[in-house]
């Protein structure tokens, strides 16, 4: 029993040691006379074919202001030593005269790992990188298979420059790309090809702001003026579409509701004293939203974002509504002492526009038949002179009649005074004395006549003031009604403009929901 246990223990310890020796011997044999500066091709005139695939993990951030995209991705390099026409990987045998071994001679070892830099690797870099280190990949081990296939998957967080088109922001689609190419090898020495399924998004973590509806791969060859050789590069395109839910609920809807608040200013009576305050508050709110959009957009003059156009349109509406509110208040507080309403203004604001807007005014029945002509023609000069002469005659007759009545009344009072001895006889004509002697009136009637005479003059003054007050009140009410008409007209016009501009601006967007 002790012998069997000893043999079993030796077997357990001997197996790992044997495997480790085989792997060490394999490493020593592969690295013997190996130069990592040598291109792994048997014929130096043949290029090294390198297939590249990008496995996208996550779109971390899209910095529109600095036009930089942060991406977490894995680069999948597959290198072969001889050119092949097929792009089917992992299913064909490729020979590398430096990194090929027989599995049976090395304990059935199928693959080994080498640190990056231990063996030759292509100097493929990300051309449009804006990282401070430029090459932001993590130098992982390289896997070498017994057939000579070299597999290298360096992960990294890439910062790529991307031209951000803000014309349709936030309903925009961006097309960013990774541009990979060899830094020193031309196309005759290193043939860079996209691998099968060149853009792998099977492990992609969806982004909350950007949708990824499409990815494409494109290979290009560029000839420079300095060199006749082609320089190949591979572009991996990201077709990103912005999700609009966040911007709709946090920017667009508040701005629309804030702009609609301006319409309430036209329904607020001028005597409330808050019309201007409401309009200025809404204007400041729109300016605040516009500043948020300007902070999110890159400082470029190539295009104005769609959301910026919408906010600017809202700001113009609110500014115009503030101006018209000031005009409405000006009309409302006008008086006949300071302003006189012209005939064209009267016909337009008191008759035509209220009839078009179907407004009701107490005491006035507006119909099309009762509307005055909008542009009143000047009357004939002969008719004007005739009317003026008639009025002058009526005025002179009324003045003459009132003068005669006053003379008779004064004469009667004087005769009564003479009969009572109140006036000296020398100052009274003989005709008045004779008439005074022939009349006899009580003292009470004399006092009544004096009081009636004074009441008559007071009533004339009071009646005149009442008529003038009614005219002033009617003129003031006309100005107030004109202000109400302008308010109602602005309410309709600005409502139509806000609805039409909102629909027109957002209808032009490439999409509304992503």
Classify 144 as helix, strand or coil: strand
Select the more confidently predicted residue: 435 or 246.
246
CA distance 394 to 180: 104
Whether 93 shows a pLDDT value over 80: the answer reads no
Confidence of residue 43 (pLDDT cuts 50, 70, 90): confident
Residues of the chain with CATH 2.70.170.10: 27-242
- The model's pLDDT over 261-317, given as tens digits with 9 standing for 90+, comes to 999 989 988 888 788 899 999 999 998 888 888 888 777 778 888 998 999 999 999
Arithmetic mean of pLDDT over the chain: 80
Q: What are phi and psi of 448, to 5 degrees?
A: -65, -40
> How much is the pLDDT for 407?
55
Confidence of residue 171 (pLDDT cuts 50, 70, 90): very high
- The model's pLDDT over 443-474, given as tens digits with 9 standing for 90+, comes to 677 778 878 888 888 888 888 888 887 788 88
CA distance 103 to 218: 38
Across 86-102, average pLDDT: 49
> How much is the pLDDT for 416?
52
Whether 391 shows a pLDDT value over 60: the answer reads no
Residue from 394, 398, 441 nearest 417 by CA: 441
Strands 190-200 and 48-63: parallel
Whether 427 shows a pLDDT value over 90: the answer reads no
CA distance 42 to 149: 15
Select the more confidently predicted residue: 151 or 1.
151
> How much is the pLDDT for 472?
80
> How much is the pLDDT for 238?
94
First and final C-alpha spacing in the chain: 75
Residue from 221, 216, 194, 156 nearest 77 by CA: 194
Does pTM top 0.85 for this prediction? no
**What size, in residues, is the chain?**
514
Residue from 176, 198, 189 nearest 232 by CA: 189
- The model's pLDDT over 198-256, given as tens digits with 9 standing for 90+, comes to 788 989 999 999 999 999 999 999 988 888 899 999 999 999 999 999 999 999 999 99
Whether 405 shows a pLDDT value over 70: the answer reads no
> Which has the minimum average pLDDT: 50-59, 284-293, 364-373, 475-484?
364-373
Give how far Cα 506 sits from Cα of 220, 246, 317, 479, Å.
38, 16, 17, 40
> How much is the pLDDT for 78?
65
Query: CB atoms < 10 A from the CB of 292, how many?
Result: 14
Select the more confidently predicted residue: 79 or 462.
462
Whether 48 shows a pLDDT value over 80: the answer reads yes
Burial status of residue 284 (CB atoms within 10 A of its CB: 0-12, 13-18, 19 or more)? exposed
Whether 81 shows a pLDDT value over 50: the answer reads no
> How much is the pLDDT for 382?
43
Q: What are phi and psi of 104, to 5 degrees?
A: -65, -30
CA distance 68 to 129: 9
Select the more confidently predicted residue: 53 or 437.
53
The token pair at 422 is: 């109140």
Contact 232, 219 (CB under 8 A): yes
**What's the distance, CA 363 to chain centroid?**
47
C-alpha count within 13 angstroms, C-beta hemisphere, residue 407: 7
> Which has the minimum average pLDDT: 33-47, 165-179, 405-419?
405-419
Strands 111-114 and 68-80: unpaired
C-alpha count within 13 angstroms, C-beta hemisphere, residue 428: 23
Classify 248 as helix, strand or coil: helix
User: Virtual CA dihedral for 486, 492, 497, 499, nearest 10 degrees?
Assistant: 150
443-507 helix and 253-267 helix, angle to the nearest 10 degrees? 160
Q: What's the angle, vertex CA 512, arms to CA 506 and CA 514, rounded to 5?
A: 160
CA distance 241 to 68: 16
Q: Name the DSSP class of 364.
A: B
CATH number among 2.30.30.90, 3.40.190.10, 2.70.170.10, 1.10.1040.50, domain 27-242? 2.70.170.10
Whether 1 shows a pLDDT value over 60: the answer reads no
CA distance 295 to 288: 11
Strands (E), 399-465: none
Confidence of residue 504 (pLDDT cuts 50, 70, 90): very high
CA distance 439 to 189: 148
Residue from 436, 443, 444 nearest 412 by CA: 436
Burial status of residue 418 (CB atoms within 10 A of its CB: 0-12, 13-18, 19 or more)? buried
Give how far Cα 320 sits from Cα of 265, 419, 473, Å.
12, 80, 31
Say whether the peptide bond before residue 170 is cis (omega within 30 degrees of 0). yes
């Amino acid at each position: 029993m002790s012998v069997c246990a000893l043999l079993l223990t030796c077997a357990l310890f001997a197996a790992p040691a044997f495997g480790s020796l085989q792997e060490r011997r394999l490493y020593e044999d592969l690295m013997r006379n190996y130069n990592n500066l040598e291109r792994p091709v048997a014929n130096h005139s043949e290029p090294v074919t390198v297939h590249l695939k990008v496995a996208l993990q996550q779109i971390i951030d899209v910095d529109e202001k600095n036009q930089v995209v942060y991406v977490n991705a894995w680069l999948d390099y597959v290198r072969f030593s001889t050119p092949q026409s097929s792009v089917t990987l992992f299913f064909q045998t490729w020979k590398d005269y430096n990194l090929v071994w027989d599995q049976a001679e090395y304990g059935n070892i199928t693959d080994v790992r080498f640190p990056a830099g231990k063996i030759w690797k292509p100097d493929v870099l990300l051309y449009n990188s804006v990282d401070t280190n430029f090459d932001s990949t993590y130098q992982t081990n390289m896997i070498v298979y017994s057939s000579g296939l070299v597999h290298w998957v360096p992960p990294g967080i890439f910062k790529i420059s991307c031209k951000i088109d803000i014309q349709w922001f936030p309903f925009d689609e961006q097309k960013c790309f990774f541009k990979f190419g060899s830094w020193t090898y031309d196309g005759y020495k290193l043939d860079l090809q996209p691998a099968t399924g060149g853009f792998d998004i099977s492990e992609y973590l969806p982004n909350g702001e950007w949708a990824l509806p499409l990815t494409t791969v494109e290979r290009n060859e560029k000839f420079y003026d300095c060199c006749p050789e082609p320089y190949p590069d591979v572009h991996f395109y990201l077709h990103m579409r912005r999700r609009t839910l966040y911007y709709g609920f946090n920017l667009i809807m508040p701005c629309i509701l804030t702009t609609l608040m301006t319409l309430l200013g036209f329904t607020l009576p001028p005597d409330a004293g808050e019309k201007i305050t409401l309009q200025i508050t809404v204007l400041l709110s729109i300016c605040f939203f516009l500043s948020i959009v300007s902070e999110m957009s890159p400082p470029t003059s190539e295009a104005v974002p769609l959301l910026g156009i919408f906010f600017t349109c809202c700001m113009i509406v609110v500014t115009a509504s503030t101006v018209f509110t000031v005009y409405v208040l000006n009309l409302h507080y006008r008086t006949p002492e300071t302003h006189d309403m012209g005939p064209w203004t009267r016909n337009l604001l008191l008759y035509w526009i209220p009839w078009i807007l179907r407004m009701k005014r107490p005491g006035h029945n507006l119909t099309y038949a009762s509307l005055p002509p909008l542009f009143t023609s000047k009357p004939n000069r002969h008719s004007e002179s005739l009317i003026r002469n008639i009025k002058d005659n009526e005025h002179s007759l009324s003045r003459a009649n009132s003068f005669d009545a006053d003379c008779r009344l004064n004469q009667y009072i004087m005769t009564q005074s003479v009969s009572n001895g109140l006036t000296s006889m020398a100052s009274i004509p003989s005709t008045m004395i004779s008439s005074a002697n022939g009349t006899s009136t009580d003292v009470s009637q004399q006092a009544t006549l004096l009081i009636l005479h004074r009441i008559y003059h007071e009533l004339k003054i009071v009646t005149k003031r009442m008529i003038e007050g009614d005219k002033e009140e009617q003129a003031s009410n006309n100005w107030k009604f004109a202000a109400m008409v302008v308010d109602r007209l602005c309410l309709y016009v600005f409502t139509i403009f806000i609805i039409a501009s909102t629909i027109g601006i957002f209808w032009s967007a490439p999409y509304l929901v992503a």
